[in-house]
Structures are given as structure tokens and as C-alpha cells.
């Protein structure tokens, strides 16, 4: 089964506009020694829809995609390239290498920058530019 995060990772990986970060599109956690820039896809929060007699097969997912870079400018630039690849993407197929899902659309809902230099709980001086997305996608309907 291809998850939304898998499909998103496959779609973003190797995108020329992401530059070096295109080779470092990861899920869930960024290892301490991961070179930057990099893209991190977080686990989504997903809600399925229904009609009177079954699930309707449409999922509304909220998912976060982070652009990590060594400078604020680079993080913002990478975030902007991610936005251009994702925001407003219409109905179609997302993924690659035989692992795809059918999406109904993608909206960027929120974006902001996290400066870890001022974070006492972190020993990182890196920058994290966050995109919060809503992605609607199709899943199989349980045959009950």
C-alpha cells in the first residue's frame, strides 16, 4: 500500500527545482548528520469521508512538509520551490516508480519559519521553513 507520505516523497524526490534537497527528501525524522538542505515530510493527520451506506473513499489529510537549510534565506527559497510544486496542484496522480495515489487536489494552508538558533532546547542553528498542506486523495472503500 502506498501511503500519502510515500507518494509525496516520490513526487518531490529528484525535482530539479529543489536542487540538492531533491536528493534528500525524507520522512518523519531528520538524522543529526543529514546534510542540508533537505526536505522532511511529517506523518499526516487524516480524516475519511462517508455517505449513508459506506465510506466514500475520499481522505482529507493535513500534512507538514519542512524545508531545512543552513541559512534563513536558503530555507525560505526551498520552501518557495516546494510551494510552487504543491500549492493548487489539481486532480491527478501523485507519486512515482509504481507507487502512486490519486489526489483530488493540494492546498497550502499555512507557512512559517522556525529559527532553531533561538531554541534553547535545540543545539541546532539551522532553519526550518514549514508548509502545512491539505491534500485530498482517494483510498479503497472497505467491502463490508
Partner 1 sequence: MANYIATGITVSFGTLSGEILDVDRANDEVEAQDVTHQTSSNEWREHSATNALKQAGAFTLLAHWGGTIPAVGTTDTITVTMPDGGSESATAILQSAGGFSGKLGQKITTEMTFLNTGAPTHA
CA distance 118 to 110: 22
Out of 14, 19, 35, 49, the residue judged to bind partner 1 by CB under 8 A: 49
118 CB-near residues (< 8 Å, 6+ apart): none
Give the chain's length: 144
Q: Which range of residues in 45-53, 75-83, 110-118, 120-128 is near partner 1 by CB under 8 A?
A: 45-53
Out of 16, 28, 33, 51, the residue judged to bind partner 1 by CB under 8 A: 51
Q: Which is nearer to partner 1, 58 or 70 (CB)?
A: 58
CA distance 66 to 76: 10
As measured in angstroms, the least distance from the Cβ of 4 to partner 1 is: 17
Q: Which is nearer to partner 1, 18 or 103 (CB)?
A: 103
Alpha helices (H) along 87-142: none
CA distance 134 to 50: 18
Assess 50 for contact with partner 1 (CB under 8 A): yes
CA distance 24 to 44: 19
Greatest distance between any 2 Cα atoms in the chain: 52
Q: Pattern of binders to partner 1 over 69-108, x per CB under 8 A?
A: ------------------------------------x-x-
As measured in angstroms, the least distance from the Cβ of 9 to partner 1 is: 24
Number of residues engaging partner 1 in binding (CB under 8 A)? 11
Assess 134 for contact with partner 1 (CB under 8 A): yes
1 CB-near residues (< 8 Å, 6+ apart): none
Residues that bind partner 1 (CB under 8 A): 49-54, 56, 58, 105, 107, 134
Amino acid at each position: 500500500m502506498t501511503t500519502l507520505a510515500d507518494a509525496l516523497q516520490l513526487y518531490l524526490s529528484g525535482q530539479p527545482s529543489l536542487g540538492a534537497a531533491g536528493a534528500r527528501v525524507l520522512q518523519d525524522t531528520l538524522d543529526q548528520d543529514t546534510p542540508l538542505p533537505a526536505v522532511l515530510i511529517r506523518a499526516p493527520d487524516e480524516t475519511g469521508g462517508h455517505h449513508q451506506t459506506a465510506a466514500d473513499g475520499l481522505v482529507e489529510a493535513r500534512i507538514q512538509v519542512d524545508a531545512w537549510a543552513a541559512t534563513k534565506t536558503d530555507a525560505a527559497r526551498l520552501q518557495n520551490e516546494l510551494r510552487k510544486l504543491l500549492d493548487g496542484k489539481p486532480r491527478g496522480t501523485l507519486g512515482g516508480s509504481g507507487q502512486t495515489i490519486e489526489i483530488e487536489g493540494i492546498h497550502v494552508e499555512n507557512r512559517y519559519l522556525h529559527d532553531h538558533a533561538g531554541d534553547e532546547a535545540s543545539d541546532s542553528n539551522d532553519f526550518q521553513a514549514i508548509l502545512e498542506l491539505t491534500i485530498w486523495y482517494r483510498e479503497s472503500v472497505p467491502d463490508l
